[in-house]
Chain A
Amino acid sequence: MLQDWLFIGLLLPIAVLLPAVAIGLNWLLGPKKPNALKRSTYECGIETVGEAWVQFRAQYYIFALVFVIFDVEAVFLFPWAVAYDKLQLYMVLEGVLFILILAAGLVYAWRKGALEWV
């Protein structure tokens, strides 16, 4: 069981290392002549006003919130799907009930207008 995860434990550092080495190579080979103008923010030619870390519309945030609801619930459904072959019909129907409750959440968000792009 743990033996199976060893490969992933080895692959993840390698997968981090390879792009890091490539970028390191770039740092070694590339010229290093920074100046203030070169390092200024690239927006539209006019000097940038303020920084980008500002308050921003909450619309994007609402979608992320709706996502969290669905993703957490979907994780609960995976054990049910794995055990599917061993389940009786009524157990499957209980899973369906769970999905319907999930769908009710979607309908609620929909009716509330959380899914409208304004």
Chain B
Amino acid sequence: MSDPFGQISQFLLDLLTGWGLEAGLAAFLLKLLGAAAMGMLALFSTFLFIWGERKLLARIQIRLGPNRAGPFGIFQTVADFAKLVTKELIVPSGADHFVFLLAPILVVMSAVAVWAVVPFAPRFIGTDINVAVLYIVAVGSIGILGIMLAGWSSNNKFALLGAFRAAAQLVSYEVPMVLTLLIPTMLAGSMGTVSIVEAQRQMPFLILAPIPALLFFISSLAENGRAPFDLLEAESEIATGFNVEYGGLMFGMFFVAEFLHAFTIGALTTTLFLGGWLGPGVDRYPILGVVYFFGKSLLVWFTIIWVRMSLPRIRIDQMLAFNWKLLTPLALAAVIVFAVADKLAPGGVLGRTLVLLAGNALLAVGTLAGLWVHARASRRAATPPVGSTAPMRVNPS
């Protein structure tokens, strides 16, 4: 029981070599099996995530949600899949065919590929590469590229607007996300996800770094492109934006990617800030790690849906100002504060925690003061004294 995942992989390895395969080939086949299993798991779990999200949305809106197909409507997504898979694939005549087909595949690929470095439990991880954090950023950007390609190749003005908004939004929010990723890297002294989880054995980074955790969460939400940051597919403004020309499963693939990504955000937040699989008793029974990991991830996932239901969509100028004038400076300041504070912190968990918490408090006070000054300035600008030439703030866009 001490190492179930290691034992399973050893058992399969022994089985394959027992069939007379070479050790190298057996190891390769095992990796292939693992990769196929992970890809399947990621895509098929989306059936559950979509159902779960629709159920939760319904509860928040005091509705029942899907409740016809199977117990609690759990097969609703399967029914939707069956419907989408028998639809005609329409490629608009003016579209760039190859790019149009490629885009949904790229989007799903990026959502699945991130799972390779997510540590679900001790020794239960696709691969423990030493640049996992950079890998997450790099692979995540492919999804953004897919969305832009989809909007661009459709030859539709609404889709093009969606693609431009994707370029402005997804790309902008990448900046605070990458900058806040520096902080777990710095605190753990490694970019590997397993080392980052292990470094949280004494104290999860959420307690050491609550503000970077919040920054990461908000910018990930924007990366996912859903309310309150769903400008790229704003139904009431630009039809559905980048995916307006898509139908059938090609359309479905964008939603597979989006719903899967919502859970992936939970998994990444758990890994980087909530201590991953760590929890009481996990060293004796590693299988508990899976429970802790999915428990924490689903908690974050629930928060994402909660935010989605609670907040209205923001305007594009607000979205960009929020990123460039609040999140990015705050992320830069957070990196500086953590770099200096962690170096000056005395040894021992308690001393380090207190010094870093003081740094967080400094950041919070600084941010609130800045916001207060800004709010006062814009109030004054909005109500100019009689006879002055102060410009009125007009509604942009």
Distance (Å) between the CB of B305 and the closest chain A CB?
24
Q: Is the CB of A32 within 8 A of B126?
A: no
**C-alpha gap A14/B35 in the complex (Å):** 7
Decide if B84 is an interface residue (CB 8 Å cutoff): yes
**Complex interface bits, B239-265 against A, C-beta within 8 A gives 1, otherwise 0:** 100001100111011001000000000
Chain B interface secondary structure, helix, strand, loop or mixed?
Answer: helix
- Given A15-B112, A30-B88, A117-B396, decide whether A67 and B171 contact each other with a Cβ distance below 8 A: yes
Q: Is the CB of B28 within 8 A of A6?
A: yes
Distance (Å) between the CB of B391 and the closest chain A CB?
12
Q: Is the CB of A23 within 8 A of B104?
A: yes
Residue of A nearest to B106 (CB): A16
**C-alpha gap A18/B86 in the complex (Å):** 17
CB neighbours (8 Å) of B160 from chain A are 52-53, 56
Q: Is the CB of A95 within 8 A of B339?
A: yes
CB neighbours (8 Å) of B316 from chain A are 117
Interface size on B, residues (CB 8 A): 90
A–B Cβ pairs within 8 angstroms, 20 of them? A5-B129, A11-B115, A15-B109, A19-B109, A22-B253, A26-B248, A30-B87, A39-B92, A41-B94, A53-B152, A59-B168, A60-B164, A60-B168, A64-B168, A71-B174, A74-B179, A77-B179, A82-B190, A96-B336, A109-B324
CB contacts under 8 Å to A, within B138-156, are: 152, 154-156
Distance (Å) between the CB of A20 and the closest chain B CB?
5
Which residue of A11, A38, A70, A83 contacts B38 across the interface (Cβ within 8 Å)?
A: A11
Q: Is the CB of B133 within 8 A of A78?
A: yes
Q: Is the CB of A11 within 8 A of B167?
A: no
Q: Is the CB of A103 within 8 A of B329?
A: yes
